[in-house]
Structure 1
Amino acid sequence: MGNPHVLLIPYPVQGHVIPLMELAQCLARHGINITFALTETTHNRILNSLALNDVALNDGIRLVTVLDGSESNESSNVPGKLSEAIFKIMPGKVEKLIRDINASSESEGEKISCVVADQSLGWALELAKKLGLQTVAFLPAAAANLVLGFNIPKLIDDGIINIEGIPAENKTFQFAPTMPFMNTSDFVWVRMGNSTMQKIIFHMMLGNNKSVKSADWLICNSAYNLEPGAFSLSPEIVPIGPLLAPKSLTTPTSPAGSFWPAEPNCLKFLDQHPPRSIIYAAFGSSTAFSEAQFEELAKGLELTNRPFLWVDANRKTYTTERGMVVNWAPQQGVLSHPSVGCFLSHCGWNSTIESAINGVPILCWPYFADQFINQSYICDVWKIGVALKRNNGSDGIIKCEEIKNKVDQLLGDKSFKERALHLKEVTRANIAEGGSSHNNLMNFIKWINANINM
């Protein structure tokens, strides 16, 4: 009957696209045909990055666009325009894509039989159900985020938040041991910009609960050892990660879903330094520093008297007295390099697990959304990092002295590295053959193949 055909739909931002593209690559290696639905801007960025990074997609993966730039204003600064297009325009485009593909397919094997959608896109799961397709919700972040989302009704009933998600008071708690500490001021939706955006994210999380829980599979880019408490509370979440290209564990590489070409010379810079000597500083694709904060960060890195590699997408590549600043870096390759001693990070989930799987301690600088939950995992649960503290003044800036002192603390205490190396070994064992994440992934692939032969 042919190979299965699966439609993958990411939320079109860098941190969501990369892990779903890694899953697409994995499924394609097992003979599953993939259609990967993107917005026009994201599609063009990925094609450009693939060419410049000399990275190829596996056979069987086809990229298609389902939302053009004029509909989403994706490359403009119009607030909320992309989200509005994703939730109002994109559903109709995706339905037409599925109907057109399946109507023109000559065999059952060529038809889309399953939809794997970012768990934030509840409409995609509901659409797939309506069309009689199998459904898979994919969480690119920590499972703790879904545990939080699933517990929103209880948080309302307990008076911790009101029906709009606004906390009644500043309170810190744990849902369970080995789960991150959560402060009500750091709930995902509370850390999402202005009050309008906060309400949108809150109601989206609440509304998605039903569609996510009713999916045939709910898979997560995590591992049992990283979040045992979360998986105990919500056993319906199946960890299949960390999802990393196999070669990224042994050779420098950029992931296939990267939006930007990496600066190759940064790896040569790393080669020039001794083991565990370099501070790697990178803050994702969305973090924006004020000029004052940028200056404090630059001063702080210089004050450490250590070499550093600093990724800043808003500035051109240049070399300072003891460091190098680049637009973008092959992060998986950087973190696996023996010269890297610590990672100064915004604590995005991709960065967090890439650091964990390479045994690199983390200096935490969370910026928004789920990054504060990830910081708690790093500092409170795994104990492989320390958090930076902001100035008590109205500017809330992290001062250069704080950066220097925390770097000294992180690199001066060998226990951070020892715990990071232990976490590395246990996490890698999960994705190795016979490990829990590997077994879950193989069972998932078997289910997809069985589905085509039903």
Structure 2
Amino acid sequence: MQSPHVLAIPYPAQGHVIPLLELMQCLARHGVKITFVNTEFNQERVANALSRKDDIGDHIHLISIPDGLEAGDDRNDVLKLMETISQFMPGKLVELIEKINESGDKITCIIADQVVGWALEIAEKMHIRRAAFWPAAATLLGLSISIPKLLDDGIIDDNGTPRKNQMVQLSPTMPAISTAHFPWACFEGLTAQKKIYELALRNNKAAEGLDWLVCNSIYELEPAVFELFPSILPLGPLLANNRLGNSGGYFWQEDSTCLEWLDQQEANSVIYIAFGSSTVLDQTQFQELARGLEQTNRPFLWVVRPNITEETDNAYPKGFKDRIATRGRMVCWAPQQKVLGHPSVACFLSHCGWNSTIEGISNGIPFLCWPYFVDQFLNQSYITDVWKVGLNLNQDESGIIKQAEIKEKVEQLLLDKGFKARAMDLKQVAAKNVKEGGRSRTNLNNFIEWVKA
């Protein structure tokens, strides 16, 4: 009998690579050989981020294929990236699979990000077993699957364009979603929206009839969507902390010295601020945030990527670094799961990306919500309106979150002990799910057995 050999391919963005690589580490620990496909642009960054302490070398092989873009192209341009890879990478992936199969170590299963539906199409054509992985909130996938109903109800037209700006609920117990925040409607221009919409339709069709459609969520976080779409199975939270390992897939070099700094802070005192890998702030907003953190008079750990704003070194308010030197720490990137698990962290000022949301939930941390793009607004709704473990940060009439708003919401969040209590309740729910007998653990065990069969 041939040994199981999985080819895994994520959408080439950090928020997609991290959870799929974590799932592959779970499979690798059960003796499954993994070929993990990165783009050439991301390969070195992913490889550098993998900790040598994690024994994956014998089971996970990182390999790369080109994405079709030029070296200087903006890979944060979602439309250009999605269009280019869907046209260029399929041929390269077929060549890779054929080369691997010719070596005698045949691919027995392809696990692809649902966003790269073309990889699932290839698996079907090559008669390879296939499964899809969804790295975001299951509700967002449910929204995409519901496109036919949105058409029938007249909410969108044949191009996916919302007929009017309104709030939509897939079921009475799910949070309402603004049509302006539909994934394909977030892009500027009707042409761009139509192209993303068509890609979503293609991905949905590619995922039809799959044996497995799994996601990095927890049943209790989104029960209505799992009842409405029983084919979506939660495996989460997929976190390195659950296997006492180190995270992989980060595109930025972690600064672990911030953990030593956290050791010196009082318990439940530090504001942790991180906006993921794509959020960009203009100079005015960056300075308002800096001043707001300064005004809280609390210790804070702030992740400031080199590209979070233009000329980051000169972006801080004059004298800011000197004034906050004894209680503020800025790093280019942090080992986020370890930071959120540190007893000194009191709250998480977040862009509400799903990975960050799951990590915060799993560590019992209350949120201050600063969504930037696509699914982050839905995640904010869950955090503030459904789970009630965080607060929104509101913009003024000019679209800026002012320093006074930041200071006020920090105080409100930390003075109301109910936020922390509810966050700790969700932490227990997350922990229960990954223990033997938990719903996510059972789904994961069954999935592993299917892969190995």
TM-score when scaled to structure 1? 0.92
1:314-353 → structure 2 map (5 Å cutoff):
314=306, 315=312, 320-321=324-325, 322-353=327-358
1:36-435 → structure 2 map (5 Å cutoff):
36-50=36-50, 57-67=56-66, 71-73=68-70, 76-77=73-74, 79=77, 80-105=79-104, 110-245=105-240, 248-249=241-242, 254-314=246-306, 315=312, 320-321=324-325, 322-393=327-398, 396-435=399-438
Question: Are the structure 2 counterparts of residues 137 and 6 from structure 1 closer, same or farther at C-alpha, using a change threshold of 3 Å?
Answer: same
Q: Do 2:112 and 2:133's aligned partners in 1 also have CA atoms closer than 8 Å?
A: yes
| Superposed displacement of residue 162, structure 1 | 1.6
Per-residue CA deviations over 1:93-134 (Å, capped at 9, x if unaligned) read 1111111211220xxxx3101100000111111110110111
Query: Which segment is superposed worse, 139-148 or 310-319?
Result: 310-319
Match of 1:30 in 2: 30
Distance in 2, Cα, partners of 1:282 & 1:256: 18
Letter in 2 for 1:86: I
Letter in 2 for 1:289: L
User: Which runs of structure 1 show a deviation greater than 4 angstroms over 4 or more consecutive aligned residues?
Assistant: 53-56, 78-81, 315-319
Query: Which segment is superposed worse, 186-195 or 165-174?
Result: 186-195
| Superposed displacement of residue 168, structure 1 | 2.0
Distance in 2, Cα, partners of 1:200 & 1:273: 49
| Superposed displacement of residue 176, structure 1 | 1.9
Distance in 2, Cα, partners of 1:383 & 1:235: 25
| Superposed displacement of residue 195, structure 1 | 4.2
Aligned residues: 438
| Superposed displacement of residue 10, structure 1 | 0.3
Q: Where does the alignment leave 5 or more consecutive residues of structure 2 unmatched?
A: 307-311
Distance in 1, Cα, partners of 2:56 & 2:71: 24
1:449 equivalent in alignment to 2:446: no
Question: Secondary structure, in 3 states, of the residue corresponding to 1:222?
Answer: coil
Identity between Structure 1 and Structure 2 (%)? 54
Distance in 2, Cα, partners of 1:448 & 1:49: 26
Question: Secondary structure, in 3 states, of the residue corresponding to 1:112?
Answer: coil
Question: Secondary structure, in 3 states, of the residue corresponding to 1:310?
Answer: strand
| Superposed displacement of residue 55, structure 1 | 5.4
Q: Do 2:47 and 2:62's aligned partners in 1 also have CA atoms closer than 8 Å?
A: no
Distance in 2, Cα, partners of 1:400 & 1:55: 41
Give the alignment's Cα RMSD to 1 decimal: 1.9
Distance in 1, Cα, partners of 2:2 & 2:145: 38
TM-score when scaled to structure 2? 0.92
Question: Are the structure 2 counterparts of residues 400 and 234 from structure 1 closer, same or farther at C-alpha, using a change threshold of 3 Å?
Answer: same
Distance in 1, Cα, partners of 2:155 & 2:273: 36
Distance in 2, Cα, partners of 1:194 & 1:287: 20
Question: Are the structure 2 counterparts of residues 73 and 375 from structure 1 closer, same or farther at C-alpha, using a change threshold of 3 Å?
Answer: same
Q: Do 2:237 and 2:358's aligned partners in 1 also have CA atoms closer than 8 Å?
A: yes
Letter in 1 for 2:27: L
| Superposed displacement of residue 427, structure 1 | 1.3
Letter in 2 for 1:343: F
Letter in 1 for 2:266: P
Letter in 1 for 2:381: S
Distance in 2, Cα, partners of 1:256 & 1:49: 6
Distance in 1, Cα, partners of 2:72 & 2:15: 17
| Superposed displacement of residue 150, structure 1 | 1.1
Letter in 2 for 1:409: Q
Per-residue CA deviations over 1:335-380 (Å, capped at 9, x if unaligned) read 0001111000000000000000000001100000111111111111
| Superposed displacement of residue 173, structure 1 | 3.1
